[in-house]
């Protein structure tokens, strides 16, 4: 088989069969060879053939019919995509919903099937590689246990981050990079550097609720900018807001926004850098998902177009290396670099050098690129299946985003469905979804929900997603 030698045989075989199904060479409803026949045809073991079929079953490409064998599943229709969002134009004090904490606690409850927190299944990550890197780091850099880890973090990690940033089109001087306690600390250090309590910040609408929580804690006000599910931030709306409101900074996720999964076209990214640069209004750019975008162009950061030190770029490794490494974040704060470094040093100090060495090591290993390719593929598969289920099982009139990467879907239900009620009905069945109201300072998105479809994709999870659709259909009544 003509595949990446690092791909397991069963996966290569499954992908080949999936390709045949996608191209129509294997027609919907067609019966597949028996496991034994498949094993003989492709010169693989019986267990490899079984694993290939199971993988295709899990992905919804084929189905097993009891006592009949395996069949190509009939393709399902896909849901339409939501229209652009239309948040209110005025700035408001940020107050997060009381329901947010309950939702987030439930999302981490192992007793639930969670479409909650935006973290993917550990199975998809090279956890063993990460474990070995930490053990090795504790061995090789045991001396780092004997000295204070100080902000801004160890130089080799900052150098590795700077090298990785080349893939986003960015030339970052590693001396200006500050290692932080996750991407959230990076963002809040940036906000602190350029705002005072009461200031107005422009954000995406809908936006990541973590940003809202941080803004509330810092006493900031928000003005929400409309988003196109396909193309991200509306620059026209942003310009109007910049011209009419005292906006002190913009916080955005231009590549694979959360929850819409939008990627701004590269021309828009360039234009965003320019229009903020001219006005001297800083952009706080979150790039935690850029490495999950499909093409080099998609991965490009707004920062790559910035000539004035006006873009503060923030990242972490929780979506790409392993969820457990989310606590290692970083920021290069452009012309506020010295100030951000100073705040980090003054307000929280250094972290854990042993973990920093391990992450530096993991970023420099060849395996990183390969694991990214695999992640992108798995996420694309799982997202596709989930969208098919939404089309089939959710109430008529439902829409869902079609993100080019990542594992987050945003679903717009008919206006009659209250997603908070849906959340409450789902939690009774130990299923967690996140109601849309968490992603705004307004009362919008009450009929929307965010689904993390990066969890381990099992028949049980698939059934849970069908159940969400059934409950939503009842509520749409």
Among 350, 377, 380, 384, binds a second copy (CB under 8 A): 350
Q: How far is the CB of 372 from a second copy (least distance, A)?
A: 17
Distance (Å, whole) CA 474 – CA 477 = 5
Give the residue from 118, 229, 226, 247 showing the smallest Cα distance to 444: 226
Query: Cα–Cα–Cα angle for 283, 243, 223, nearest 5°?
Result: 60
| Helix segments in 166-319, DSSP class H | 182-194, 209-217, 235-244, 266-279, 296-299
- 201: contact with a second copy by CB under 8 A: no
Judged by CB under 8 A, the residue of 45, 150, 430, 458 near a second copy is 150
Residue selected from 39, 162, 176, 181 as contacting a second copy according to rule CB under 8 A:
181
Residue 258 beta carbon to a second copy: minimum distance, rounded to whole angstroms: 14
Stretch that binds a second copy, among 85-93, 271-279, 340-348, 429-437 (CB under 8 A): 340-348
17 binds a second copy (CB under 8 A): no
Residues 351-390 binding a second copy (CB under 8 A) are 351-355
Give the relative orientation of helices 459-476 and 419-428 as an angle to the nearest 10 degrees: 130
Nearer to a second copy, 118 or 242 (CB): 118
Query: Can residue 323 be called a binding residue for a second copy (CB under 8 A)?
Result: yes
Please identify which residue in 345, 376, 377, 470 interacts with a second copy, judged by CB under 8 A: 345
| Adjacent-strand bridge partners of 181 | 328
> Is residue 466 part of the contact set for a second copy (CB under 8 A)?
no
Question: Among candidates 322, 313, 316, which has minimal Cα distance to 367?
Answer: 322
User: Which burial class, exposed, middle or buried, applies to 309 when counting CB atoms under 10 A from its CB (0-12, 13-18, 19+)?
Assistant: middle
d(CA 456, CA 148): 39
Burial of 339 (0-12, 13-18, 19+ CB in 10 A): middle
Per rule CB under 8 A, count of chain residues that contact a second copy: 59
Interface residue with a second copy among 15, 58, 185, 361 (CB under 8 A) is: 185
Site pattern 439..458 for a second copy (x: CB under 8 A): --------------------
Applying CB under 8 A, does 210 fall inside the site for a second copy?
Answer: yes
Return the number of the residue (128 or 243) whose C-beta is nearest a second copy. Answer: 128
Identified binder of a second copy from the candidate list 5, 66, 146, 366, rule CB under 8 A: 146
By the rule CB under 8 A, 58 interacts with a second copy: no
Spatial neighbors of 97 by CB under 8 A, at least 6 apart, are 437, 438
Q: Which helix (H) or strand (E) holds 55?
A: helix 46-58
Kindly state whether residue 139 participates in binding a second copy, applying the rule CB under 8 A. Answer: yes
Determine contact, residues 331/190, Cβ cutoff 8 Å: yes
By CB under 8 A, residue 199 contacts a second copy: no
Smallest distance from the beta carbon of 429 to a second copy, in angstroms? Answer: 22
Contact 230, 274 (CB under 8 A): no
Figure out which of the listed residues 182, 261, 277, 395 binds a second copy, where binding follows CB under 8 A. 182
Six token digits for residue 423: 């959340």
Tell me how far, at minimum, the Cβ of 143 lies from a second copy, in Å. 7
Please give the Cα distance from 446 to 229 (Å, whole number). Answer: 17
CB of 322 to a second copy, least distance (A): 5
Closest to a second copy by CB, 149 or 467: 149
The residues near 149 (Cβ < 8 Å, ≥ 6 apart) are 350, 351, 352, 353, 356
- CA pair distance 224, 227, nearest whole angstrom: 9
Residue 185 or residue 204: which is nearer to a second copy going by CB? 185
Q: Which stretch binds a second copy (CB under 8 A): 39-47, 125-133, 292-300, 305-313?
A: 125-133
Cβ proximity to a second copy, 152 vs 469, nearer residue = 152
The C-alpha angle with vertex 307 and arms to 302 and 310, in degrees rounded to 5, equals 65
Distance of closest approach, residue 449 Cβ to a second copy, in angstroms: 20
Angle between helix axes 35-42 and 46-58 (nearest 10 degrees) is 110
CB of 175 to a second copy, least distance (A): 13
Kindly list the residues in this chain that would bind a second copy in the complex (CB under 8 A): 108, 117, 119, 121-123, 125, 127-128, 130-131, 134-135, 138-139, 142-150, 180-182, 184-185, 188, 192, 197, 210, 213-214, 216-218, 318, 322-328, 342-343, 345-355
């Amino acid at each position: 088989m003509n595949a990446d030698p690092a791909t397991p045989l069963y996966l290569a075989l499954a992908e080949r069969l999936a390709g045949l199904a996608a191209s129509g060479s294997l027609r919907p409803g067609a019966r597949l060879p028996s496991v034994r026949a498949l094993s003989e045809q492709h010169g693989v073991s019986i267990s490899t053939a079984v694993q290939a079929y199971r993988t295709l079953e899990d992905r919804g490409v084929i189905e097993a019919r009891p006592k009949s064998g395996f069949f190509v599943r009939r393709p399902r229709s896909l849901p339409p995509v939501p229209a652009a969002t239309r948040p209110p134009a005025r700035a408001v004090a940020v107050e997060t919903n009381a329901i947010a904490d309950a939702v987030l606690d439930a999302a981490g409850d192992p007793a639930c099937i969670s479409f909650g927190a935006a973290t993917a299944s550990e199975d998809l990550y090279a956890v063993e590689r990460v474990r070995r890197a930490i053990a090795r780091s504790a061995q090789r850099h045991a001396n780092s246990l004997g000295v204070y880890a100080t902000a801004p973090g160890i130089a080799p990690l900052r150098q590795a981050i700077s090298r990785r940033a080349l893939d986003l089109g960015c030339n970052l001087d590693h001396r200006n990079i500050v290692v932080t306690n996750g991407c959230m600390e990076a963002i809040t250090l940036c906000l602190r550097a350029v705002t005072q309590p009461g200031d107005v910040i422009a954000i995406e609408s809908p936006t990541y609720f973590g940003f809202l929580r941080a803004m509330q804690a810092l006493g900031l006000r928000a003005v929400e900018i409309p988003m196109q599910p396909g193309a991200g931030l509306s620059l026209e709306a942003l310009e109007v807001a910049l011209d009419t409101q005292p906006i002190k900074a913009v916080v955005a996720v231009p590549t694979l926004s959360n929850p819409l999964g939008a990627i701004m076209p590269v021309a828009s990214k360039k234009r965003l850098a320019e229009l903020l640069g001219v006005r001297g209004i800083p952009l706080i750019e979150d790039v935690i998902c850029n490495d999950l975008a499909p093409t080099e162009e998609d991965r490009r950061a707004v920062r790559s177009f910035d000539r004035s030190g006006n873009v503060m770029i923030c990242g972490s490794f929780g979506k790409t290396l392993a969820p457990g490494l989310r606590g290692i974040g970083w920021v290069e704060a452009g012309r506020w670099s010295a100030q951000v470094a100073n705040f980090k040093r003054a307000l929280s100090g250094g972290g854990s050098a042993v973990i920093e060495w391990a992450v530096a090591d993991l970023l420099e290993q060849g395996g990183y690129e390969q694991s990214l390719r695999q992640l992108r593929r798995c996420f694309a598969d799982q997202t596709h299946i989930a969208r098919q289920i939404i089309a089939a099982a959710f109430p008529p009139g439902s829409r869902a985003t079609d993100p080019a990467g990542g594992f987050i879907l945003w679903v717009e239900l008919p206006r009659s469905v209250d997603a908070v009620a849906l959340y409450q009905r789902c939690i009774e069945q130990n299923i967690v979804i996140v109601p849309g109201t968490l992603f705004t300072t307004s009362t919008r998105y009450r009929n929307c929900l965010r689904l993390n479809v990066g969890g381990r994709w099992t028949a049980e999870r698939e059934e849970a997603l069908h159940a969400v659709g059934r409950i939503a259909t009842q509520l749409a009544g």
